[in-house]
Amino acid sequence: MRALRYDSFGGPVTIETVPDPRPEPLDAIVKVSRTGLCRSDYRAWKGHDADVVLPCIPGHEYAGTVVAAPTLPHLVGRRVVVPFVIACGDCPECQHGQGQVCRFQRQPGFTDPGSFAEFVLVPRARTNLVPLPDSVGDDAAASLGCRFATAWRALVGVARIQQGDSVVVFGAGGVGLAAIMIASAMDAQVVAVDISDDALALADRFGAQVIPVGARNRPQDIAAQVREILPDGAAIGIDAVGSPTLATASVLSLRRRGRHVQVGLMDGDSSTLPIGDIVARELTVLGSHGMAASDYPELLRHVEAGRLEPQLLVTATVGLAGAASALVGMGGSGQPSGIRLVDPQS
Ligand SMILES: [Zn+2]
Ligand SMILES: [Zn+2]
């Protein structure tokens, strides 16, 4: 099969012909229809993720069709999405429905061959395949593998958003825009903070009031801008980027007893949050990491009903060759906004 591959961190990303994956009895093989280009792919290629095994076929956010499943033959031919955290199904976390933090987790594009390929192997298929309703198209389904599901779980499962809560989203990339769409669908008052005018234009389209910031803004200044819109502060703040400045700005933007959710990964875990403020105002700081397959049905019901439309976040679709140049270019300025998808069959 054709697949994108790199052999060294920061090195060339090339299209190679590699052996088709062969399933063991508990595995499935999925023919990839759409796969998303996520910032984590860029971090992995740059060598900022200690779990990456070289040579690496990147890609962890995808939807496709099951073409082989030795112990689940009834799923062959079904369209599926697969969460990027491949859970074992057996460990204590998995037994409690928390496969997103499985202690034996594997991740395509990091520990295992990824989805920038015609086919991808899904270990522990019974635990990890999520069948898709026919009405949920490939463009909508792809980002459910990582970014859209991550935003959903951060707001609904982790922050426990209530109808009418105020939400401030730091970073209007794929995860941030998804969070804006989800919070708006729940009648939240949503504020979006970003440095990109293009990203903020999309945030505005999906229902957020927008705050442009510069790379040198201090957290205190950003929080003051949020409070011009939300004088009492936000019920929920999300750092969708992974920035010490934005994480601190999020905490400072919260109302009393508000919840900060950290979604973006930080290089070097270098954040210092204002602990005194967290104690004095009884703030809650939460981490959120993907979503277990068992939590997908509720999200899929909202997508099926048209209350959430992940496909509207898709701004471009490229083939494998386009994915190679897009991946290595992700660190540059002027990046396209929204979710970019790859069709690895083209
Ligand atoms: Zn991702
Ligand atoms: Zn497990």
Q: Which domains does the chain have, with CATH numbers?
A: 2-146+291-342 (3.90.180.10), 151-287 (3.40.50.720)
Going by their DSSP bridges, the two strands 254-262 and 234-239 should be labelled as parallel
Nearest ligand to the CA of 84 is 1
Nearest ligand to the CA of 91 is 2
Which tokens hold the place of 189? 């008052």
Distance 62 CA to ligand 1 centre (A): 10
Of 345, 317, 327, 330, nearest in space to 120 by CA: 345
Distance 154 CA to ligand 2 centre (A): 20
Nearest ligand to the CA of 58 is 1
* 192 beta partners: 169, 210
Distance 323 CA to ligand 1 centre (A): 15
CA distance 214 to 34: 34
pLDDT confidence of residue 346? 87
Nearest ligand to the CA of 87 is 2
Burial 27-42 (b: 16+ CB within 10 A, else e): bbbbbbbbbbbbbbbb
pLDDT confidence of residue 269? 62
Distance 40 CA to ligand 1 centre (A): 5
CA distance 299 to 162: 16
In the chain, which residues have pLDDT < 50?
A: none
What is the phi/psi pair of residue 282, to 5°?
Answer: 50, 55
Near ion ligand 1, which residues have CB within 5 Å? Answer: 38, 40, 146
Full-model pTM: 0.96
